[in-house]
Structure 1
Amino acid sequence: MSRISSLEVQLSNVKSLLRTMCDAVNTGLVTLIQHFEHPNPNRLIKIVVLDSEIDNLERAIDTSILQILATQQPLGYELRLAYACAKIAHHIERIGDAVESLARQLVNGDIPDQKEIFLEMLNDSKDLFERSYTAMFEGDLSLIQEIHLLDDKVDFKQRELYHIAKKILKKESKGNIDKALRIISMSAKIEKIADLCCNWAEQIDLAENGMVRRKIQKRKYRLVFMDNVGGIIASIAASFLYQSVKDIVDLSVVASQPIKTNNILNFTNLLSEYEITPQIFPIARITSMNWNKSLMLIILGDFELPKEELEVVPYKTVQIIWNEINFEPDEIETNPKKFKEFVNSLLIRTNHLAQIIARTQEQNE
């Protein structure tokens, strides 16, 4: 009967397997980028072979981690590391699957006309991959502290490609439909690679720092307030909610019309009576919004989200309509009675919403 290796040796073996797995996936990513720069379908074939190797490595890692848990009963850092490696191996395997799927699509068709945008997405995703790789195997955790901000660049490019695909679909021919669906499919796979690299970084952070001292702040979900009056009413509504939910979710404001001359700071004295401090939120145009991570859309008054935007809002995003929050900013500013009615309605709505968000946070924890 062979002697059981020490915990340190077993963990080192797991990390070695994981590094080999990551190297194989990185080779696939580099090959995809090279194909976009200098098309050569023959080089894509090796990605399919690499995917089988990646799957085998994931199974070997799972077996090794199971042996560690069964024979060593690790605690503290060692337990976190073993758990993180199992999760990371799964994320890397899924990245490998996405890379292989992209390779198959490229082997069976030409490179899309939007080559430069795809290349930017791939290079940004490779940057995310390399940051997580370096943090994992060289211990430089500074590279992953703001990794979610870098991931937003990939999300923005995916949205750009989606709108391009929609324009192509309007031409209504079989060739255009296939072209548009290909753009949507390929961009979604690259965006998934970027997301999985962020998941990888979070597991590294968890292993190194534990739950209490984590350095990476998980990207918070967003509440999006929308109105038809230049974002002023939406900004006031968001200000009512800000203090109670700012640590749980991000708040965004969207307007459908050009920004008016009104400024939320004009309402400082009126709001101070209710112990509300006006918050200055950047007011976004609908067409510039990235709806990823939007937990709720709060629609004020008679605002309507255009159909083409509804199509890109994630299906899990909740839409809440507050029809009664529908006043002209000038009217509120000059009519105290109207403003009081507005505040009373808003207090009821925002207090209820804050309770829902707090309960959701408790369930997630």
Structure 2
Amino acid sequence: MSRISSLEVQLSNVKSLLRTMCDAVNTGLLTLIQHFEHPNQDRLIKIVVLDSEIDNLERAIDTLILQILATQQPLGYELRLAYACAKIAHHIERIGDAVESLARQLVNGDIPEQKEIFLEMLNYSKDLFERSYGAMFEGDLTLIQEIHILDDKVDFKQRELNHIAKNILKKGTKSNIDNALRIISMSSKLEKIADLCCNWAEQIDIAENGMARRKIQKRKYRLVFLDDVGGMLASLAASILYQNVKDIVDLSVVATQPIKSNNILNFTNFLSEYEITPQIFPIARITSMNWNKALMLIILGNFELPKEELEVVPYKTVQIRWPEINFDPDEIENNPTKFKEFVNVLTVRTNHLAQIIARTQEQSE
């Protein structure tokens, strides 16, 4: 009977296989970037071969980890590391699948006209990959502490490409439809690669620090307040809710038009009576919003989200309507009685919403 290797040796073997797997995927990402810069179909064919190698490595890693759990019964850091490696191998395999799928699409067609945007997404994604790689195999955890910021840049570029694709679809010809669908498909795969790199980074963080001491802050979901009066009512609603949920979610304000005359700081004295500090939220236009990380849309008054935006809001995003929050910003600014009525109605709504968010947070922990 062959002697069972020590736990340290077995874990080292897992990480060695995982590193080989990551190197193969990184080669695929680099090949895609090179193809966008200097097209060469022969390079892309090699990515298909690499994908088979990646699949075989994932199976080998699964087998080794199962052997570790069965023969070593690891605890503490070693258990977290073994579990993380299994999860990471799965993430890397999915990244490899996305890279292969992109290569196949490029082999069967020309580089899209939006070459520069795709290149930016590719470079951001490769940066995310290299940061997670460095954190895992070089031990530099500072590389992944703010990894979600880079992921947000990928999301923004995907939004830009989806907007371009929607405009192309309006032209209606078969070639335009095929082109638009190709843009959407390719941008979705790049966004998926970025998300999987973030998942990889989070597994490294948990393995090294445990759940209680993890260094990467869990990505906050966003609550988006929307109104049709330049964002003034939405800003006030967000300010009232802010103190109760700031550690759980991020708040955003969206409007169809920019504020012209009103400013939330004009309400400082009124809000101070309720021990509320006005918060200055950047007011985004609808067309610039990325809805991917929106947990809830809180729609005030008579605001209606355009049909083309509704089509890109994720189906899991909850939409809440507060039709009674339908005040004239000028009137509540100049009439203390009207402002009090506004705050009383809004406070009931925001308190109820804060309770819902708190319960949602408890269930997810």
Shift of 1:261: 2.1
Shift of 1:338: 1.7
The alignment covers a number of residue pairs equal to: 365
Shift of 1:348: 1.0
2:230 counterpart of 1:265: no
2:281 counterpart of 1:281: yes
Contact 1:62 1:86 survives alignment (8 Å):
yes
Counterpart residue type for residue 351 of structure 1:
N
Contact 1:239 1:276 survives alignment (8 Å):
yes
Contact 2:132 2:143 survives alignment (8 Å):
yes
**Any idea what the Cα deviations from partners look like across 1:160-216, whole Å, max 9, x if unmatched?**
111111111111100100000000000000110011001111111111111121111
- More off after superposition, 264-273 vs 185-194: 264-273
Shift of 1:7: 0.6
Shift of 1:260: 2.0
Quote the Cα distance in structure 1 between the aligned partners of 2:350 and 2:227: 16
2:322 counterpart of 1:335: no
Quote the Cα distance in structure 1 between the aligned partners of 2:230 and 2:332: 15
Shift of 1:258: 2.2
Contact 1:225 1:300 survives alignment (8 Å):
yes
Quote the Cα distance in structure 2 between the aligned partners of 1:323 and 1:276: 23
SS across alignment from 1:32? helix
Counterpart residue type for residue 49 of structure 2:
V
Shift of 1:336: 2.2
Contact 2:33 2:119 survives alignment (8 Å):
yes
Shift of 1:65: 0.8
2:186 corresponds in structure 1 to: 186
Moved segments of 4+, more than 3 Å: none
SS across alignment from 1:354? helix
SS across alignment from 2:222? strand
2:356 corresponds in structure 1 to: 356
1:90 corresponds in structure 2 to: 90
Quote the Cα distance in structure 2 between the aligned partners of 1:238 and 1:303: 16
2:260 counterpart of 1:255: no
Unaligned runs of 5+ in 2: none
1:36 corresponds in structure 2 to: 36
**Any idea what the Cα deviations from partners look like across 1:328-358, whole Å, max 9, x if unmatched?**
1111122222222211111111111111111
2:157 counterpart of 1:157: yes
Quote the Cα distance in structure 2 between the aligned partners of 1:283 and 1:54: 45
Counterpart residue type for residue 264 of structure 1:
I
- More off after superposition, 278-287 vs 244-253: 278-287
Counterpart residue type for residue 299 of structure 2:
I
TM-score, structure 2 as length reference: 0.98
Contact 2:223 2:298 survives alignment (8 Å):
yes
1:116 corresponds in structure 2 to: 116
Identity rate, percent: 89
1:77 corresponds in structure 2 to: 77
1:217 corresponds in structure 2 to: 217
2:140 corresponds in structure 1 to: 140
1:17 corresponds in structure 2 to: 17
Quote the Cα distance in structure 2 between the aligned partners of 1:189 and 1:162: 13
Contact 2:232 2:263 survives alignment (8 Å):
yes
Quote the Cα distance in structure 2 between the aligned partners of 1:263 and 1:117: 36
1:126 corresponds in structure 2 to: 126
Quote the Cα distance in structure 2 between the aligned partners of 1:29 and 1:251: 34
Quote the Cα distance in structure 2 between the aligned partners of 1:171 and 1:329: 40
2:322 counterpart of 1:322: yes
Quote the Cα distance in structure 1 between the aligned partners of 2:290 and 2:180: 20
Quote the Cα distance in structure 2 between the aligned partners of 1:118 and 1:138: 29
Quote the Cα distance in structure 2 between the aligned partners of 1:105 and 1:330: 54
**Any idea what the Cα deviations from partners look like across 1:63-90, whole Å, max 9, x if unmatched?**
1111111111111111111111011001
2:193 counterpart of 1:199: no
Contact 2:15 2:85 survives alignment (8 Å):
yes
1:230 corresponds in structure 2 to: 230
Unaligned runs of 5+ in 1: none
Contact 1:95 1:196 survives alignment (8 Å):
yes
SS across alignment from 1:250? strand
**Any idea what the Cα deviations from partners look like across 1:138-179, whole Å, max 9, x if unmatched?**
001111111100111111111111111111111110010000
- More off after superposition, 68-77 vs 16-25: 68-77
Quote the Cα distance in structure 2 between the aligned partners of 1:283 and 1:93: 39
Contact 1:225 1:238 survives alignment (8 Å):
yes
Quote the Cα distance in structure 2 between the aligned partners of 1:66 and 1:276: 55
Quote the Cα distance in structure 1 between the aligned partners of 2:257 and 2:158: 25
Counterpart residue type for residue 158 of structure 2:
Q
Contact 1:241 1:354 survives alignment (8 Å):
yes
Contact 1:229 1:260 survives alignment (8 Å):
no
